[in-house]
Amino acid sequence: MTDERGTTKFQVDLRRHLRECNVERNLTRLICEIADASKYIINSIRTGDLGVAGTSNLYGEKQLALDVLADRILEKRLKYSGVVASVISEEQDEIISFEPEHSECYSVAYDPLDGSSLVDVNLAIGTIISICKGDALLGKGRDQVAAMYILYGPRTTLMYSTGNGVHEFGMNQLMEYTLVKENITIDGDTGIYSPGGQRNLYTEGVERYVRLLEEQGCKLRYSGGFVPDINQILVKGKGIFLYPHLKGKPEGKLRLLYELNPMAFLVEQAGGAASDGRMPILDIEPETIDACAPVFMGSKKEVALAQELVANETR
């Protein structure tokens, strides 16, 4: 397991892995910039103000000081990277355009701090990143060229895909991301289920689905943080996450551009599936930057069962 320089496979750092996978130079630069920015986000989580920022985001949700700080850290890094044409953030109302130095450039949709309301109870949270070519931010998720997340948990880990498998990295004591596992796959049975949203608002089809999972003996694993909840399914290679359509909330809660699309890209790359209950998440045409959708994401078998039970429900 060592190469000609005696480096064990698992000391491969993120930049070297991207190069060895022949990832385009500016995309490599972009992914490494985001990885680097995560160190400042970690620091702000560990030491920052847990209070509210006194402002609200596009969804009318109160922004925490940490949301705004993480957003600023990322926006600045993306702006000065020289390879980003435009960004959209969960914490900003509109698309922001930059003057990239390079013609080979990208656009980024990101959730700077997903699950930020969990910081004060010391639960795991994350940064979610969707990357597309040029300035095609409102394209379908299928058009993404890369997706990644950073998970700030007991350990800090990073998961990325550029369309050739999903690869996990861990942050070492020097704050470098080194390879933990390549080509992660979701191929196991279900085992765990992660049911988001209020159960009393589940439609009949969703209620039947969850009861079937429970009758199969699935274990409930729901932290309220999208990144750790999906990470668990990727790392264990099995399971299903759902944040479904609800009575009175037909579109569910999760945001298409910077939560569902990047996670669906990773899950499909790992051999799983991601559906809104009727069609693949990655095939949804986003009408607006704040588009939301219901989601069933994880092992193919369970997503197919969910579609069978809910596809024809009126929402």
Strands 295-298 and 96-97, bridge-based pairing: unpaired
Question: Binding of ligand AHG at residue 153 (CB under 6 A)?
Answer: no
271: left (phi > 0), else alpha (psi -120 to 50), else beta?
left
At closest approach, how far in Å is the CB of 23 from ligand AHG?
27
- Lay out the site mask for Mn ion across 93-112 (x = CB under 5 A, - = otherwise): ------------------x-
- Lay out the site mask for ligand AHG across 157-196 (x = CB under 6 A, - = otherwise): ---------------------------------------x
Say which entry of ligand AHG, Mn ion, none residue 228 contacts (CB below 5 to 8 A, set by partner kind). Answer: none
Among 33, 114, 168, 302, binds Mn ion (CB under 5 A): 114
Residue nearest to ligand AHG (CB): 226
Residue 205 phi, psi dihedral angles, 5° rounding: -65, -40
Question: Binding of ligand AHG at residue 202 (CB under 6 A)?
Answer: no
Nearer to ligand AHG, 90 or 135 (CB): 90
Contact partners, residue 103, CB within 8 Å, separation at least 6 = none
Question: Binding of ligand AHG at residue 116 (CB under 6 A)?
Answer: yes
| Range 151-155, long-range pairs (CB < 8 A, 24+ positions) | 151/124, 151/126, 151/227, 151/228, 151/231, 152/41, 152/42, 152/45, 152/124, 152/125, 152/126, 152/127, 153/124, 153/228, 153/231, 154/124
Nearer to Mn ion, 17 or 255 (CB): 255
Question: Binding of ligand AHG at residue 114 (CB under 6 A)?
Answer: yes
Angle between helices 25-47 and 65-79 (to 10 degrees): 150
Nearer to ligand AHG, 242 or 305 (CB): 242
Amino acid identity of 57? N
H/E stretch holding 88 reads strand 84-89
Amino acid identity of 107? S
Nearer to ligand AHG, 12 or 227 (CB): 227
Q: What is the CA radius of gyration of the chain?
A: 19
- Interaction residues for ligand AHG, span 259-288 (CB under 6 A): none
Angle between helices 204-215 and 300-310 (to 10 degrees): 140
* Burial class of 154 by CB neighbour count within 10 A (0 to 12, 13 to 18, 19+): exposed
Residue 290 phi, psi dihedral angles, 5° rounding: -105, 20
Say which entry of ligand AHG, Mn ion, none residue 33 contacts (CB below 5 to 8 A, set by partner kind). Answer: none
At closest approach, how far in Å is the CB of 61 from Mn ion?
8
Question: Binding of Mn ion at residue 168 (CB under 5 A)?
Answer: no
Say which entry of Mn ion, ligand AHG, none residue 196 contacts (CB below 5 to 8 A, set by partner kind). Answer: ligand AHG
Question: Binding of Mn ion at residue 268 (CB under 5 A)?
Answer: no
The footprint of ligand AHG (CB under 6 A) covers: 61, 90, 111, 114-117, 196-197, 224-226, 243, 253
